[in-house]
Chains A and B, each alone.
Chain A
Amino acid sequence: MGDDLQKTIENVCSRYGKVRGRMMDVVRDVHAAVGSLSPAATELIARAMGVRTVEVESVVSFYAFFSDRPKGKFVIRLCNDVIDQLSGVHRVAQAFREELGIDFGQTTADGLFTLEWTPCIGMCDQAPAALVNEKVMTWLSSDQAREIIGTLRRTGDIDKVRHTLGSGNNSHRLVRSMVSNNIRRRGPVVFADLPAGQALHKAISMSPVEVVKQIKNSRLRGRGGAGFPAGMKWEFTRASEGAEKYVLCNADEGEPGTFKDRVILTECPDLLFEGMAIAGYAIGARHGILYLRGEYEYLRAFLESVLEARRQKKLLGQGILGKDGFDFDVRIQMGAGAYVCGEESALISSCEGRRGDPKNRPPFPAQRGYLGFPTSINNVETFCAAARVLDEGAAWFAEIGTKESAGTKLFSISGDCQAPGVYELPFGVTLRELIDAAGGSDVVAAQVGGPSGQMVGRADFERKLSYEDLATGGAVMVFGPGRDLLEIVRGMTEFFVDESCGYCTPCRVGNRLLLQGVNKVLAGHAEEKDLADLEALGQMVKTASRCGLGQTSPNPVLTTLRSFRPEYQRRLGQFPAGRQPTFDLHKAVLDAEAIAGRPSIHHNA
């Protein structure tokens, strides 16, 4: 066994040329081959790669999908984000528990099943959802949960689980997934046809500088949420000196409530890769990396096939479209379950085979990014829009949307509405129009931009979805009356506690303190002063945190304190001066007795 393990690891490491920067792939492949990353495996990897063992442990322990202990043959990861919770995931969870006789975080004695919670897997429009190994199971009921376990026990074959194939390319032989696209509105930018190569042809008829100028003139801004002008990013990267340059695509959409990139990857991968190649041409990069979130592993083989087809058509590789010196290719880097890797500098760390800690800026990626080379990182949707700009022209694109926000935007809407799914609408559409389109007739609150965005009430529904007003990377979660907003806030804050990388003090500690504060309110132990303390703490975390995660993680608390303060106030208690409602004297005595090993004197406890 020891020799086998060594041989396996040696093979995997050799597959990646024992290059330190490919540590993510090495660790992933070893994990897939032997089921876990035991101390023995970790040490062998370190030895083969020529690094210290702790370096490997550092990577392994960062990502949720890597485990140092053996797990079941089937790992069931049930999504526990806000929307799944509203969709009855607890009934599904109970069915899994009962059927398997284990709780979450445990593995069955026969080594067949492991049950885990996982944050948003990008299926909020078909919740409750789960990953069984890399297979996605959507619209789960408790009956289906039992059926899945029954089938897996009986057949040991994940493909035998009864399911209907989803729409579009979800039925493709390389995908074969029950995921639905739920494209509810098609706009002219992303969800319109574009023959592969057409925009690239137009791009190479211009000089790279002219291509950058086209993107600048189109006023295209980053679709991930931050809204940085894409043309400027390309221009900076182009202007930076470097022996190599890189184009990175951020397909790590992990913001709970976001799933638009999943639909683009499924239905418009050619448009995406066309945009990446255009970026490569404009910037002078020969290499592109698609950073694909671990949850979307089921799309990987399909995406690889699209890349291969483009190589065959001379749309990737050496001398693209016969243009001498235009070489560009794309590799897929798989993530492994870490929300923070959607932060661009953390994404670079992860691509470099390290834990996903964000980096200090400056230097910015455009100056020194992946492996120290100038790098442009753009969102999936941004590349698609860039390809369209080159095909239709900057002026055409700039005509759509608003002054500050050109083009269309893909919105992922989920929650209490009739038609959750993806809507491509021009920027400037009001929140009300989007909610109406999705059939959210009784919506009272909307989380715009996911947990890191803001929770708004009806008073804000007439606001425009755009960078200049209500900004969003696309996620809109809507809630009807009767939903407990504070429970929702608790869920979102818990998410940030778990997903913080822990590098800086305010995010690592502050988010836990925010969660304590919310729990205190929910328990009825808070006073008016606690709300002011929560606000002060939230501001502190926002101000002092090192990256975008901590700078936005207090938003659920802060925006609900602003827009829905009565939700907090109705739970406040009145306590005589000096009394600490969080201190339970009775429980403290019981604890002390237990520690001292004395029988309790509180017979009626």
Chain B
Amino acid sequence: MSDTIKITIDGRTISGQRGQTIMVAADAAGIYIPRLCAHKDLTPYGGCRLCTVMVNGRAQSACTQPITEGMVVEHDTAQLRDLRAGLIEMLFVEGNHYCPFCEKSGNCELQAMAYRFGVMAPRYGYMFPKRDIDMSHPDVYLDQNRCILCARCARASREIDGKGIFDFVGRGPHRHISPGEAGLGATNLAATDAAAGICPVGSLMKKRIGFAIPIGQREYDHRPIGTDVDRGRA
């Protein structure tokens, strides 16, 4: 049994290794599949669903689906582009995202993804939820307004830092990330932890480094998110 597997993505044949996910194989081939919860250093989560692709006609998340020989993947279709834009818009209306004065602006993956998809205004109405901000930790704060429930901090804390500080509490619309009832200040989170630096949005943020890099010179100010993969440099 060969360990090299051939699949097609939008008609293009690429090869990957047995055990790889569609996303990893696509990255290596220079095909960028959009993602927010997926991160190269973390186990796949499959929560944001932005990487939804059609596999042999069935929707699957590219970050969790392993490749199999001869798999036919549809990725950059009109239907899936609209679906992904819709999911991005859902995340915008679900929380409170104040891009113009958010410290994360320009480095924010949600904002960058919206630009990549040409989202100007969401098709859905804003929900304006009332959410908490936890400032109890000396070096890090947690702003629930911007959280997109991607679980990156929870996974990083468990898998990389070995601390398991975060978990989800509540169900459905009430689900939110939590460092425990006692707050962030009661945990052993350090600003140097992987968890503290892995948030894709402006939710889990380090204190006192705001605007160190001016707006206009940030990660996504001049090139769309995913450009590194697009250029085949992943």
Contact = CB atoms under 8 A, between A and B. Distances in A.
A544 B60 CA distance: 8
A502 B149 contact: yes
Interface in A498-550: 498-506, 508-510, 512-513, 516, 533, 537, 540, 543-546
Contact-size category for B:
35 or more
Interface in B106-150: 123-125, 127, 148-149
B167 A57 contact: yes
A338 B174 CA distance: 14
B153 interface: no
B52 A58 contact: no
Given A52-B164, A502-B149, A543-B52, A508 B175 contact: yes
Interface string B145-185: 00011000000000000001111111111110011111000
B180 A360 contact: no
A42 interface: yes
A338 B178 contact: no
B74 to A, nearest CB: 12
Q: DSSP class of A's interface residues: helix, strand, loop or mixed?
A: helix
Contacts of B127: 512
Contact of A545 (B49, B91, B165): B49
Interface in A356-415: 357, 360, 362
A545 to B, nearest CB: 7
A546 B47 contact: yes
Most buried by B among A55, A508, A582: A508
B213 interface: no
A564 interface: no
Interface stretch (B82-90, B190-198, B201-209): B82-90
B91 A505 contact: yes
B181 A42 contact: yes
Contact of A504 (B47, B124, B168): B47
A207 interface: no
B224 interface: no
B49 A546 contact: yes
B30 interface: no
Interface in A51-69: 52-55, 57-58, 61-62
A425 interface: no
Contact of A509 (B91, B170, B182): B91
A360 B46 contact: yes
Nearest to B164: A52
Contact of A497 (B164, B167, B172): B172
A509 B90 contact: yes
A111 interface: no
A39 interface: yes
A443 B26 CA distance: 53
B180 A53 contact: yes
B156 to A, nearest CB: 15
A233 interface: no
Contact of A61 (B49, B59, B164, B170): B170
A360 B178 CA distance: 22
A502 B173 contact: yes
Contact of B61 (A338, A508, A510, A546): A546
Most buried by A among B50, B52, B149, B169: B169
Interface string A547-591: 000000000000000000000000000000000001000000000
A61 B173 CA distance: 12
A355 interface: yes
Given A42-B181, A512-B127, A502 B83 contact: no
A54 B172 contact: no
B93 interface: yes
B94 interface: yes
A506 B181 contact: no
Given A53-B181, A513-B124, A540-B86, A505 B47 contact: yes
B48 A504 contact: yes
B15 interface: no
Contacts of B46: 360, 504, 546
A338 B171 contact: yes
Nearest to A545: B49
A39 B181 contact: yes
A125 B52 CA distance: 41
A233 B46 CA distance: 25
Most buried by A among B50, B93, B170: B170
A58 B168 CA distance: 6
B171 A505 contact: no
Contacts of A546: 46-47, 49, 61
B123 A544 contact: no
Contacts of B52: 543-544
A55 B167 contact: yes
Interface string A232-244: 0000000000000
A544 B83 contact: yes
Most buried by B among A54, A55, A58, A513: A54
B181 A512 contact: no
A59 to B, nearest CB: 9
Most buried by A among B59, B65, B91: B59
Given A502-B170, A508-B149, 14 more contacts: A42-B181, A52-B164, A52-B165, A54-B178, A54-B179, A57-B167, A57-B169, A57-B181, A61-B170, A62-B171, A360-B46, A499-B171, A502-B174, A505-B87
Interface of B: 44-50, 52, 59, 61, 64-66, 83, 86-87, 90-91, 93-94, 123-125, 127, 148-149, 164-175, 178-182
29 contacts: A52-B164, A53-B180, A54-B178, A54-B180, A57-B181, A62-B170, A360-B46, A497-B173, A498-B172, A499-B171, A500-B173, A501-B172, A501-B175, A502-B168, A502-B172, A502-B173, A502-B174, A503-B47, A504-B49, A505-B47, A505-B87, A505-B148, A506-B90, A513-B124, A516-B125, A537-B86, A543-B52, A544-B83, A545-B49
Interface of A: 39, 42, 52-55, 57-58, 61-62, 338, 355, 357, 360, 362, 497-506, 508-510, 512-513, 516, 533, 537, 540, 543-546, 582
